[in-house]
A and B are shown apart, each in its own frame.
Chain A
Amino acid sequence: MSLTLTCPICGERNGYEFRYGGEDKGPRPDRAGLTPEQWCDYVHMNSCVAGVQKEWWFHRDGCGAWFTTHRDTRTGLETDGPDSAAQK
């Protein structure tokens, strides 16, 4: 399966240039009142969506930017462009 991803800085590139950074699980939970179980769930548990999921990618062989994008896990294809506001 071939994969192309759109880097918000470099544009559309071969998927082999990127490193997968996992599902986007939203912001880190607040420390106040956080139980070990909640933290474990946040760190280790994934939704494993069969469909479109928002996920993190790192342009390892290129500009070094972290960004989120939307990809259909059933086809491996990007469905929306990258979320440039989420660049790290």
Chain B
Amino acid sequence: MNMLQRQSPVRFSARPVKTEVRDGWTVVLEYAAQGDGLHLIDLSHRAKWDLQDGDLSRFDIAGTPIPSAPNTCTLKNGTAVCRRNRTQALIWHLAGDPPELPEDPALTDVTEASLLAALTGPNIYDVMEKICSLDLKDPAKTTPRLIQGPALHVPCLIMDLGRMGDRDVVLIACSRGYGRDMTEGLLHAGAEWNMAPAGETAFTRLFDI
């Protein structure tokens, strides 16, 4: 039987110490010397769906309706559902096993077409301030929320999850082709706070706290 080999758009120079093959992806669970400071975590293998329809109210994703207002999100059972505009929403399965993609032409699996990375820990908003002019510190806004705009001059979807357990969390997604440069740029911006690549476990454990 042939197995699909899926490749993340991201390669870190750090040495993986614990990996797992999952649905064709080689997922790094832990890197050597990742520490517990500021982390950059590759989540590109996590299932991501794009939803486009003239009537988004008819959808119910894993028991969660699509939020009615653009740029608002719900995070439930490890699944983030965010509305982008009148006709489009995104669904990211961040923890646990993703469900099967429903047989509906409005839904498209874009997992392999995009980079998804998480910034966790202290100073993540300072890092984001260095790479984009978007206001992530607006005290009037509540989390989780979606911010759509450029970072490092690349169109991005940025999801601010706020405080999860003992860490602040921001997710950043962009087209796969920008993946390597985006993560290099993030690591460069976070160098003054000793940002380090971290494995998936450093992210998924936040859902258990």
Instruction: Produce 1/0 per residue, B138-180, CB < 8 A to A.
Output: 0000000001111000010000000000000000000000000
Q: What is the total of A-B residue contacts with beta carbons within 8 Å?
A: 36
Residues of B close to A49: CB separation below 8 A: none
B149 touches A9 (CB 8 A): no
Interface locus among A36-44, A58-66, A69-77: A58-66
CA distance A6 to B133 in the complex (A): 15
**Looking at chain A's contact residues, is the secondary structure mostly helix, strand, loop, or mixed?**
loop
B71 touches A17 (CB 8 A): no
Chain A residues in 8 Å Cβ range of B155: 60-62
Whether B149 pairs with A13 at a CB distance below 8 angstroms is yes
Q: Which 10 A-B pairs have the closest CB atoms?
A: A61-B155, A62-B148, A9-B70, A63-B148, A65-B85, A61-B150, A63-B85, A62-B149, A63-B84, A64-B85
Complex contacts, A10 vs chain B, CB 8 Å: 71, 147-149
Let me know if A14 is at the binding interface, CB within 8 A.
yes
Residues of B within 8 A of A60 (CB): 155
Q: How far is the CB of B25 from chain A (nearest CB, A)?
A: 28
Cβ distance A82 to chain B, nearest Cβ, rounded Å:
13
Is A87 at the interface (CB under 8 A from chain B)?
A: yes
A84 to B88, CA, bound (A): 16
Chain A residue contacts of B150, Cβ below 8 A: 17, 61-62
Chain A residues with Cβ below 8 Å from B85 are 9, 63-65, 87
CB proximity of B85 to chain A, nearest CB, Å: 5
Give B contacts to A, CB under 8 Å: 70-71, 84-86, 88, 133, 147-150, 155
Closest to A13 in B: B149
Interface residues of A (CB under 8 A from B): 9-10, 13-14, 17, 59-65, 87-88
CB-nearest residue of chain B relative to A64?
B85
Which chain A positions have C-beta within 8 A of B133? 14
Q: Which residues of B contact A9 (CB under 8 A)?
A: 70-71, 85, 148
Which residues on B sit within 8 Å (CB–CB) of A65?
70, 85-86
Q: Please name all residues of chain A whose beta carbon is closer than 8 Å to the beta carbon of B86 when the two chains form the complex.
A: 65, 87-88
* CB-contact partner of B84 in A14, A64, A88, under 8 A: A64
Question: Are the CB atoms of B149 and A17 closer together than 8 Å?
Answer: yes
- Asked if B88 and A64 sit within 8 Å, CB to CB, the answer is yes
- Contact of B149 (CB < 8 Å), options: A61, A87, A88: A61
Q: Which B residues lie within 8 Å of A61 (CB)?
A: 149-150, 155
